[in-house]
Amino acid sequence: MFINRNIRSPSNPRATSPPTQRSTGTTLVELVLALALIGILTTVALPRARALINGIDVRGAANDADALYATARRHAIAHAVATTVAITPATGTLTVVAGNDTIATRSEAVAHGVTTTASRTSTTYGPTGTGLGVSNLTLVFSKSPAVETLTVSRLGRVRRQ
């Protein structure tokens, strides 16, 4: 005769009862520990993420300015006309102007939220694509702690530092 050892009966008093179902939820202690761990990780990672985002904004502003200077130089050569990049540091605006025509304009403060400082307020390219003027121009974009510098030489070349 076969006796099932898991069923209680008068002939098998020591049989084990079927396992009870266990709750699959989480306890309050587990939730509090998980939230505390997320909070600690956030306080460590947030400043680094902010610095990374600020660096991306500053590089974006420098890329935009570099592109505007290239546009001004190409326009000066293509149309054989003096073309100026005017800088308004207070508003962070760069404007490419040829004669009375505005070729392009870009506000770096609005687009990227950066602070713009410049050693001069304009650079002019002659019809041959060389810079007109007596000194280099230094254009600095900053958003704490990231800083990017563009230098426009007397010849009109743009270098990044």
Distance of CA 114 to the CA centre of its chain: 11
> Is the peptide bond between 127 and the residue preceding it cis, with omega within 30 degrees of 0?
no
Q: Name the residue ranges covered by the structural domains of the chain.
A: 28-160
Q: What is the residue-averaged pLDDT of the chain?
A: 87
Are 110 and 94 in contact by the 8 Å Cβ rule? The answer is no
Spatial distance between the Cα atoms of 50 and 63, rounded to a whole number of angstroms: 20
Task: Return the pLDDT at 4.
Answer: 59
What pLDDT shows up at residue 142?
Answer: 95
CATH code for 28-160? Answer: 3.55.40.10
Percent of the chain topping pLDDT 70: 85
CB count within 10 Å of CB 27 equals 9
Non-local (6+) Cβ contacts of 34 within 8 A are none
How confident is the model over 137-143, as a mean pLDDT?
94
Per-residue confidence (pLDDT) for residue 26, from 0 to 100: 83
Tens digits of residue pLDDT in 66-124: 999 999 999 999 999 999 999 999 899 999 999 899 999 999 999 999 999 999 999 99
Residue reference for tokens 């003027």: 133
CB 102 within 8 A of CB 50: no
